[in-house]
Structure 1
């Protein structure tokens, strides 16, 4: 039996209307009732992710910031935390200044940008979070952060990603959560590392874990889990490495997985 289910939020658990459907909610509850631990694994900040987790009735640790922070919902105890290396954070900040790029950072679960623009406004509308403007961004860069994020055109981000890997070194992990979002964390700040930590925390084998996602930032956890599931709306590269492809986020793809692999319902 599968004992731990890690589910991405955007375009996976929630549909295009940003909702968890009643059918998917019921499936989550049935999985928990059968003894499975259901958790979220997201690039979102804890503040944003916990609102959705509480809405679905979960009370377990959740994986946030791509895996850089695992935190209890019940008492908000931090179980796993990986900050971005400070030297890399400073180099990234300098690179973004020189190339006039929009850079965001998170300090104490608050989102900061250097200036107000449409990119930060659209991002926070999408994630339903507040943002703060700090013109003297260098003083923020000196503080511990689980994640920094560049927003730009997808092709341009693909172009600069290898440049940044070279510049920032092996201490960081760089991934895309969405085509316009390039995210930079500690090299152990991945959903795969966090899933391995949570499996050990709950005393289960990775072979007893299910991971469900849609974007390339999910690939580490799909590869780590006993059953890696790509959504029907997932990017082709993720479907290629998945053990199973479910229906889309608008067709209760998460419910389909739980019914088939946890509840044993014919689908």
Structure 2
């Protein structure tokens, strides 16, 4: 049985249930894993401030992976360990396309969310993630500043059609992924959860074979593929379940707790 030393856990629909809570059972399992000497971290598409609040609730005090892997930052002293910004020329092309095709685009500067106008998509997104937002009508000013992530919100089928369009428009400069059906996200090509997990494994001096990655969406596939044990939640999308090494219970059935107990606490 592998001696796992590092666990990276997605937040939405993985660590937290549909009520947006970390259940007592999951919390206890996290604490027991940490007590056993395992590094437990979060790996999320969320901004650092949003992820930080959940990490602190659960008592974690390690670096966490945010913005899909474009930023790794310590919880204790907020030191940045890993950062990859969206290339400015690619950001400009993306912005121009969104203006021309009337797409909602938002960006993140210094961990604050900016949009060029207030609309229902923005309001709903910020209610979901409990994130404040800022409006900047002269949005090109924001586009030309360093950002770890840009995000388009639209109909899932339409976003699927847009992915090859953006791949052709932006070339290999950007990592493009869907965190949820309605969210299409753009990061630096090395801004993936897989790159971030590889960095943290090296940072904590453990082999990738000694890591566990747990997620539910397609933006988790890179870290599941490079982890020693890639785990899909019971509520995960089918393509993720197909590539996972193990499928656990759903986020409403303490799936994370089940993984920790099976592979870390009760492993022999």
Is the aligned partner of 1:264 residue 2:266? yes
Q: Give unmatched runs, 5+ long, in structure 2.
A: none
Quote the Cα distance in structure 2 between the aligned partners of 1:125 and 1:36. 33
TM-aligned CA deviation for residue 121 of structure 1: 0.5
Q: In structure 2, how many angstroms separate the alpha carbons of the residues matched to 1:72 and 1:100?
A: 37
Residue 142 of structure 2: aligned partner: 140
Q: Give the match for residue 103 of structure 2.
A: 101
Q: Deviations over 1:100-138 (max 9, x none)?
A: 000000000000001000001000011011000000000
Distance in 2 of aligned mates of 1:7 and 1:13:
7
**Other-structure match for 1:130:** 132
Alpha-carbon distance in structure 2 between the residues aligned to 1:27 and 1:46? 23
Which residue is 1:163 aligned to?
165
Q: 1:265 offset after TM fit, Å?
A: 6.7
Separation in 1, partners of 2:212, 2:89 = 35
CA deviation after TM superposition for structure 1 residue 182, in Å: 0.1
Equivalence for 2:210: 208
Q: Distance in 1 between matches of 2:163 and 2:205?
A: 36
Query: Is residue 67 of structure 1 aligned with residue 72 of structure 2?
Result: no
Q: Does 1:234 align with 2:236?
A: yes
Residue 227 of structure 1, CA deviation = 0.1
The answer to whether the aligner puts 1:81 opposite 2:83 as a matched pair is yes
TM-score (norm. length: structure 2) = 0.99
> How many angstroms apart in 2 are the aligned matches of 1:40 and 1:85?
25
1:28 positional shift: 0.1
Distance 1:262 1:48 in 2: 28
Secondary structure, counterpart of 2:165 in structure 1 = helix
2:201 corresponds to: 199
Measured after TM superposition, the shift of residue 59 of structure 1 is 0.2
- CA distance in structure 1 between the aligned counterparts of 2:9 and 2:213, rounded to whole angstroms: 6
Question: 2:192 & 2:158 partners in 1: Cα distance?
Answer: 23
Secondary structure, counterpart of 1:228 in structure 2: strand
1:24 to 23, 26, 37: 26
Report the equivalent of 1:152. 154
1:46 is aligned to: 48
Residue by residue, what CA displacement relative to the aligned partner does 1:239-258 show, whole Å, maximum 9, x if unpaired? Answer: 00000000000000000000
Q: Which stretch shifts more, 140-149 or 256-265?
A: 256-265
- Cα drift, residue 160 of structure 1: 0.5
CA displacement, residues 136-176 of structure 1 (integer Å, 9 cap, x when unaligned): 00010000000000000000000001100100110100000
Aligned pair partner of 1:110 in 109, 112, 119: 112
Q: TM-score, normalised by structure 1?
A: 0.99
Q: Distance in 2 between matches of 1:169 and 1:111?
A: 25
Equivalent-residue separation in structure 2 for 1:44 and 1:25 (angstroms): 20
Q: Which residue of 2 aligns with 1:185?
A: 187
2: CA distance, partners of 1:265 / 1:191: 26
Distance 1:184 1:32 in 2: 33
Counterpart secondary structure, 2:172: coil
